[in-house]
Structure 1
């Protein structure tokens, strides 16, 4: 068994079982990957991938166990490199942050700016996705930290620490009747078409649930969009949008105006997440404290220890 073979298996899995995509990502040949995976399966005595006419269509139960272990192995290898970077003052290194579009656009720019002033040699990379994908990136070791709201899946290998609270606002074109009301109600909002987030985001399901709990069925002509796309459709006059208040940007919102509706919808805690078993470099610790001053080095490390001992999965 070779690490190279495990790398091929993991990459094929991450690329949706497409060997050609894995070969492109790893700068090698498709036949070479296929051969090495077959050799590994022969050595193990079972198939890692399910095949139909020599085409990979899925992962076997045993294969999933192999992939989980392989991902942990490569995560540990990455941690060794982190330790090297931490003790090599000349090395800048990389910090990969997985996050949602709204956080990448409205929350993280000032944090990243302050971080790079402190660590000018470090390269920061952003990976975007919905909250569940953010956790998947971190869980798989593709990102060092994740920043986002609640995911639809549980990830037992992650520590998630609250970093801020997301409230809601309604966004409409200036002059829209909804903006003239003294106090906005759910019934008022339901009189107009609503441009909505998808249900992979906590804002999406919280908003719909709030209406349904009051027996109100809103009209949603268009959904599955992030904050900036939602603003575009509001500008076209297609409706109003209910979105995270952090996405309000008066300097760039043009003909749009926002009103607070946090009294109508539950707020969503946002978390910074990292792998419980990962080595936390000074880079990660500094970034978390810049994101939320309450996330001091002592608190983060204590929270990781508490999670490792089984005291809590989401230390407060």
Structure 2
């Protein structure tokens, strides 16, 4: 077996078991990918993928273990490449941050600006998606860290360290009656059409759970993956939005108004997610501290050691 074969396994799973899509992503041929998987299965002595009509439909029980090991192996290889960069870069290097739109658009710009002032020779890349996608990239070794709210599903190969709190507000068009209601209650908010985050984001479920616990069923007019889209439809008069307070910019959102709603909707926690059992380059640790000053290299190291020990004990 070899790293290429393990990379093929990971890429096939990432592409929903579609060989053609995996081959395209790997810049190779579909027969070549299929052949390498067959060779790996022959060497292991069991099937990695479930097949139906000559198509992959999922992972076998053994395949689940192969996939997990392949992800760890590739992540470690990427870590070695990072170490090589650090040892011979003279302050240069690449840093890949996976994050959500809200963090990339509103939370990270001033942090990244200050970070790059201190590290002018570092090339920083942002990869955007929903929280689960960001964590997937880190787990696969395709990003150094993820920044975002808690994903819907669990990623046992990662550790999440809280770095910020996101309070919620109601955002409405200037003159909207919700801006004058006293006191602001869940019932008052539910009386109007609502624009909010897509269900892939924890913000959606936190808001919906608050309504459900109050016995209310709001009318969701629109769900979107980013706050800017939500605000655009609020400006069009289609409803009010329940968004993270940091997404409101008084200068850019001149036709809108924000009203604090943290007393009726719980806050979200923004996490920095890192791979356990992985070498963290100094540039990664420095960026983590730039995002959250309390997350010093010692704090991060202790948290990773604790997570590793817990995993071994389990």
For normalisation by structure 2, the TM-score amounts to: 0.94
Shift of 1:140: 2.0
User: Contact conserved, 1:85 with 1:91, CA < 8 A, in 2?
Assistant: no
Tell me which residue corresponds to 2:36. 36
CA distance in structure 2 between the partners assigned to 1:42 and 1:257 by the alignment = 63
User: Contact conserved, 1:151 with 1:201, CA < 8 A, in 2?
Assistant: yes
**Larger deviation, residues 183-192 vs 128-137:** 128-137
Structure 1 residue ranges without an equivalent (≥5): 312-316
2:176 paired with 1:189: no
Tell me which residue corresponds to 2:285. 285
CA distance in structure 1 between the partners assigned to 2:12 and 2:155 by the alignment = 22
The DSSP-based 3-state class of the residue aligned with 1:209 is helix
**Larger deviation, residues 23-32 vs 269-278:** 23-32
CA distance in structure 2 between the partners assigned to 1:69 and 1:170 by the alignment = 45
Tell me which residue corresponds to 2:238. 238
Shift of 1:133: 2.3
Tell me which residue corresponds to 1:151. 151
2:245 paired with 1:248: no
The DSSP-based 3-state class of the residue aligned with 2:164 is strand
2:260 paired with 1:260: yes
CA distance in structure 1 between the partners assigned to 2:78 and 2:147 by the alignment = 20
Equivalent pairs counted in the alignment come to 311
CA distance in structure 1 between the partners assigned to 2:26 and 2:56 by the alignment = 18
2:96 paired with 1:103: no
User: Contact conserved, 1:168 with 1:261, CA < 8 A, in 2?
Assistant: yes
Tell me which residue corresponds to 2:19. 19
CA distance in structure 1 between the partners assigned to 2:116 and 2:62 by the alignment = 43
The DSSP-based 3-state class of the residue aligned with 2:222 is coil
CA distance in structure 1 between the partners assigned to 2:75 and 2:181 by the alignment = 53
Shift of 1:137: 1.9
Tell me which residue corresponds to 1:314. none
Tell me which residue corresponds to 2:171. 171
The DSSP-based 3-state class of the residue aligned with 2:75 is helix
Q: Runs of 4+ in structure 1 displaced over 3 angstroms?
A: none
User: Contact conserved, 1:41 with 1:48, CA < 8 A, in 2?
Assistant: yes
Shift of 1:182: 4.2
The DSSP-based 3-state class of the residue aligned with 1:152 is coil
Which residues in structure 2 correspond to 1:1-316 (within 5 Å)?
1-90=1-90, 92-310=92-310
Shift of 1:163: 0.4
**Post-superposition CA distance 1:52-103 (Å, at most 9, x none):** 2322222212112111111111111111112112222336222111111111
CA distance in structure 2 between the partners assigned to 1:306 and 1:52 by the alignment = 42
Shift of 1:224: 4.0
* RMSD of equivalent CA atoms: 1.6
